[in-house]
Amino acid sequence: MPEHYDAVVVGAGPAGAATALTLARNGISVCLLERGQYPGAKNIFGGTIYRQPTELLVPAFWEEAPLERPVVKDELWLMEEDSAINVGFTGLKFGRAPYNKFCVHRSQFDRWLADQAVRAGARLYCNTTARDLVLKGKQVIGVEVDGGERILADVTVLAEGVMAMLTRKAGLRSQIPPHAVTLYVREVLALPAEKIEDRFNLPAGLGATIGLLGWPTGGAIGKAGIWTMKDTVAIIVGGFLDDLIKKGLSPRWLLDRFKQHPIMKKLLAGAEPIEYQAHLIPKGGYKGIPKLYRDGLLVAGDAAVMISGRRGSDLAMLTGKYAAETIIQAKARGDFTAKMLGAYARKLNDTFFMKDIKAGKDALSYYEHYSDSDFLISRLANQSAYEFFTEGLITEKEKKERIVRMFVNYQKLGKTVKDLYAGIKNWGVF
C-alpha cells in the first residue's frame, strides 16, 4: 500500500463506499478498507434501497446495479395468531423508471457500489481489519491494520458499522446499551419467481415489502418483515435486545414460529432456506447520536447511529456523501482540524432525516416504559376486527357499542391513544 493518502475510509458498506466514491470523483486519493472477503460479505439488512438518495451518487443506477425487483407494493400488517389486518398501497407507477425503491441483496449491492468507487480511482483492500488509530498528538493521522502496518492519511472516516470499535477508541462514542440496539435474524428462502408473483399478487418482475407488528415478536418491541426478490423471499424478525433478553425470547425461535403462522405457511409453501444471518442495528435515536468528528476524523453510517425508522442504508450513503464533501472543503483549505471538520455535523443537522430523527427522539423512552404497546395495539385491533366482521344477531349500533366497550375495557383510552401516537412515530413499512 502507498504510505500516505488524502483519506482512509474504514468499512466498505454503503457509508464507506459513498465516501470513497465521492472523494475519488473529486480527485482525492482515498483508500477503502473492508474486513470481509468482499464488500457486503458481512453486511445484512432487510432488503430495500431507495432511488432518490442512491441516484445522488450514481445517476440512473438502476440501469446497471444488481437490483432484484422494483417495489410497487408496501404493506403494514398487524398480525395475531390466526388473523392479520393489512394496510397497504400498490402503485404501479413505481414499477417504471425512475422507480421509487428496490429490493436488493446487500452482498451484491455493496460490492457493486464499492466497485463504482474503485472505477473512480479509490483503492480497495479487502480482508483488511483496522485495529487502531494512529495519532500525532490529538490529531488522527491514519489507522493501523492487521500485522501492524500503518496507513496514513490527512483524514480518516470511520464507517465501521454498529460495533464501532475505533469510534469508541477515538472517545466519540460509548458502547450502545442493550435498550438502544435491536437484534434481528434474517432468512432467505428460494422460491420460483412465478410463485412469488402469484402468492403476493404482483405483476411480473415487480416486488413487495411487508412490515409486520404484534404476534410475530412475541410481545417484545420489534418488527417482522418480508421482501420479495427475483427468485427468493427474505424474512426477518427481531426486537430491542434488552426486551428480548428480559422476556426470554430467542430471535431464531421467533423466526421459526413466524414461518409456522397459517398465513406465512401458505406464502412460503415449498420454499427452501438458503441463507441465515443475524445483525445488530443501533436504535438510540437522536439522544444516542455521538459526536461525529475530531481532529483528522469523521464518523458515518451505523457507527454514527444514523437510523430513522425503516431507513438506514440510504442514510448511510448520504452521511458518506456529506463526509466526503466536508473533506473536499477541508483539503482545499489544508485544514483537517475538528473546527473545520465540524462542518460535517452542521450539514447533517440541516438534513430531512436529522429532522425526522429529532421528531422521534422520545419514542425510545416511551417504549422503555411500555414495552408491550405495539403488541397490545395489534391484539386489540384484531379482536375488534373479528367483532366488526362477525355477522350475528345484533344491530349495527349494538355492534359498535360492543367494540367501544372492548377498547375501554382493554386499557384506559388515553393509554391506547398514546400507544398509537408512539407507534405512528416509530412504525415503518419495510
Distances (CA, A) of 198 to 74, 192, 207, 208, 364: 16, 10, 11, 12, 38
Q: Which amino acid is at 196?
A: I
- Beta-sheet pairing, 207-214 with 222-228: antiparallel
Count of alpha carbons within 13 Å of 209, Cβ hemisphere only?
26
CATH node for 4-67+104-176+285-350: 3.50.50.60
How far, in whole angstroms, is CA 426 from its chain's centroid? 13
How far, in whole angstroms, is CA 207 from its chain's centroid? 18
Return the pLDDT at 406. 83
How far, in whole angstroms, is CA 67 from its chain's centroid? 17
Residue 202 burial by Cβ neighbours in a 10 Å radius (0-12, 13-18, 19+): buried
Distances (CA, A) of 421 to 124, 363, 373, 377, 417: 45, 9, 11, 11, 6
Give every residue of the chain whose pLDDT is below 70, as ranges. 1-2, 361-365, 367-368, 370-372, 423-430
Return the pLDDT at 344. 98
**Closest residue by Cα to residue 301 from 283, 284, 319:** 319
Query: Quick count: other Cβ atoms within 10 Å of Cβ 292?
Result: 24
- Give the CA angle between residues 233, 81, 252 to the nearest 5°: 50
Return the pLDDT at 430. 33
Report whether 130 contacts 160 (CB < 8 A): yes
CATH node for 179-282: 3.30.9.90
Return the pLDDT at 380. 86
Arithmetic mean of pLDDT over the chain: 92
- Beta-sheet pairing, 69-80 with 207-214: parallel
Report whether 182 contacts 280 (CB < 8 A): yes
Q: List every span in the chain annotated with CATH 3.50.50.60.
A: 4-67+104-176+285-350
Return the pLDDT at 43. 78
What cell was used for 252? 431464531
R_g (Cα) of the chain, nearest Å: 23
Q: List every span in the chain annotated with CATH 3.30.9.90.
A: 179-282
Return the pLDDT at 429. 38
**Closest residue by Cα to residue 213 from 48, 425, 423, 356:** 423
- Check whether the bond before 98 is cis (ω within 30° of 0): yes
